[in-house]
Structure 1
């Protein structure tokens, strides 16, 4: 991905989201486009308009941390957006390749000890994915919850983004499909900024942009997010609606991968549905054992 284009579009899109009133400035004169003017951002950041304009044109190479912080404050960037800006700056000056932990280029398979850890999580679904949203490994409940995703994937490794945008079944699985779609794109955009030279990411984004208007529209918004915790609702074909809390953590031992664990509120309808799903899964595994890892 062209770093200068990414920088330009990201900064200009963040600037377009703000109004003078948002940042305590008077609204003076007619504005040709929505949002703050470059000069207003420059003033808020304490830099010259010439310098800020240069940065917004994509020339982030060599910019200091203090200037990046000032721009992040001026544009009211949240934690995910600020991190994305710093990732773009690292890519611009070449330091991202030095700072980024080495990632495996071969097909990833879970260590036996990691499989044991997944097996030990019995109260809720658990899964491991990478930044491209490939579903790499699960526990039994995780596999059962995503049964449709596995069944409808033509290749060996399911991908949440492909499923969301290229398979109509995703509208059934995600009752709030728009939020799921927004989240998927924001995760991909965040990962693209973190690892701009990932060829497989380039291929995935190109495929989705070519085949899905919904993806292409969301991708152009340049929204990013840190996928840490929250609540999601799913609709499972066997047990119905599941409203699950989740926590996601980056895996220090496997850079670029994250572990997500889902849990239901105790004594809730979802807890009962998960118990039923677990019972169905145990029965199925006794009769037809399956690998839980892609």
Structure 2
């Protein structure tokens, strides 16, 4: 990823979403050549010269301080994920590292202790992924929940490939359109953290070539954190499930994120999840005989 272009495109797309009124500036009218704020208006709200901001929006991040990042973030009303993404992009640009010097190490398996921990969590589905959204590990119930994604997939199974390239995803995710935006926003954030990850670049290139929707969403430069929320799916065996999730970064396995799904006790989803657990256990017992 070209970090100069990424900085420029990100700032431009954020600026286009705002109006003078939203940032507390008067709108004197007149024809605007592009939607949103002018560069001079961003600079005014951020407390810097217009030339300095223009240089930054062209991708020249040399010497940009945390205070400048905070000022721009405030002017563009960036949320926490967007602020972190801008910081990552500027840090990468200032590092000036060449791709071969910045090869990230991607873990492909858990430590034995963490593997034991997720296997012990037998009443809830657990899914472990890396920043590229590769499936690194699941517990038994997690594999049963995401069987549509994991079964018959060439390793490593990848959530983005499933969502954009597998027709079953549109049935599995009941809010498939929202899921597509979330997936792209997560990958865009990871691209800011790991701009020289060749496998991530290959994944983005593949999806951009094979999916018009992915290419459109990627161009929006939206970013997102993946911490908590609701996942509504249609499981091919037990039907509709509305699952809350909590995502946690693993300190013992850096670069990996563990996602734990659960259901409200007494709800239909809770009963169906228990049914899935029982069916999975029965199948495993028959297979071991």
Partner of 2:246: 247
CA–CA separation in structure 1 for the residues paired with 2:158 and 2:105: 18
Contact residue 103 and residue 255 of structure 1 kept, 8 A: no
Contact residue 265 and residue 271 of structure 1 kept, 8 A: yes
Partner of 1:12: 12
CA change 1:96–1:253 in 2 (3 A) is farther
How much has 1:157 moved relative to structure 2? 1.5
- List aligned pairs for 1:121-160, cutoff 5 A: 121-153=121-153, 155-160=154-159
How much has 1:123 moved relative to structure 2? 2.1
Contact residue 60 and residue 92 of structure 1 kept, 8 A: yes
SS in 2 for 1:234: strand
How much has 1:133 moved relative to structure 2? 0.4
Tell me the alpha carbon deviations over residues 130-164 of structure 1, each in whole angstroms, 9 at most, x when there is no partner. Answer: 010001100111000011111241x1221000000
CA–CA separation in structure 2 for the residues paired with 1:287 and 1:146: 21
SS in 1 for 2:276: helix
TM-score by length of 1: 0.93
Tell me the alpha carbon deviations over residues 229-280 of structure 1, each in whole angstroms, 9 at most, x when there is no partner. Answer: 0111011000001100000011112221101000001100000000000000
CA–CA separation in structure 2 for the residues paired with 1:93 and 1:103: 18
Structure 1 portions without partners, runs of 5+:
290-294
SS in 1 for 2:110: coil
Partner of 1:292: none
SS in 1 for 2:187: helix
Partner of 2:44: 43
Contact residue 88 and residue 193 of structure 1 kept, 8 A: yes
- List aligned pairs for 1:18-97, cutoff 5 A: 18-28=18-28, 29-94=30-95
Contact residue 185 and residue 219 of structure 1 kept, 8 A: yes
CA–CA separation in structure 2 for the residues paired with 1:256 and 1:39: 39
SS in 2 for 1:288: helix
Partner of 1:230: 229
How much has 1:111 moved relative to structure 2? 2.2
CA–CA separation in structure 2 for the residues paired with 1:161 and 1:174: 13
CA–CA separation in structure 1 for the residues paired with 2:196 and 2:63: 19
CA–CA separation in structure 2 for the residues paired with 1:174 and 1:47: 45
Structure 2 portions without partners, runs of 5+:
none
CA–CA separation in structure 1 for the residues paired with 2:23 and 2:58: 23
How much has 1:102 moved relative to structure 2? 9.0
Tell me the alpha carbon deviations over residues 86-142 of structure 1, each in whole angstroms, 9 at most, x when there is no partner. Answer: 000100111889xxx99535x622222111101111221111100100011001110
CA change 1:248–1:76 in 2 (3 A) is same
CA change 1:92–1:168 in 2 (3 A) is same
Contact residue 102 and residue 255 of structure 1 kept, 8 A: no
CA change 1:27–1:205 in 2 (3 A) is same
CA–CA separation in structure 2 for the residues paired with 1:168 and 1:126: 24
TM-score by length of 2: 0.95
